[in-house]
Amino acid sequence: MEYEGWLKSLKAGDTVVLEKFGWGYDILEERTVSKITQKGFIKVDTFLFDSKTGACRGPHDVNILDPKDEDTINRLREWEKEKYIMTIMGKMRDIVDITYEQAVEINKILENSK
């Protein structure tokens, strides 16, 4: 990815994707650039990124990604899918008051996901 051109074009209000590294997984989140500092740093949430290299200032394991980059789009969609799956699995434990018809429909959806 060519950082410099893309990063230099950012301004307050632009959307970016932050990649945060967790315990065994990455978190991808769309965020908004809050400002460009006088020294040229890109401020997103509490993070400052170098506008030449994309490096995050300070002891943070965070990358700034172009939301229009095809790889970023695919990774963001995959992350969103994982969040949906985790939500569904959490709700599956709580399903008790559904009708037979609803159970059949849920089963059809799950069978088609293989």
* Closest by CA position to 67, among listed 10, 24, 8: 10
* Closest by CA position to 67, among listed 26, 25, 13, 29: 29
Segment 65-82, tens digit of pLDDT: 999 999 999 999 998 998
Model-level pTM? 0.74
Bridge-based pairing of strands 41-44 and 62-65 is: unpaired
Query: What is d(CA 87, CA 103) in angstroms, rounded to the nearest whole number?
Result: 18
Domain ranges of the chain: 3-111
In whole angstroms, how far apart are CA 94 and each of 89, 91, 98, 112? 9, 5, 10, 22
Q: Which pLDDT band, with edges at 50, 70 and 90, does 4 fall under? A: low
Segment 25-59, tens digit of pLDDT: 778 999 999 999 999 899 999 999 998 888 898 87
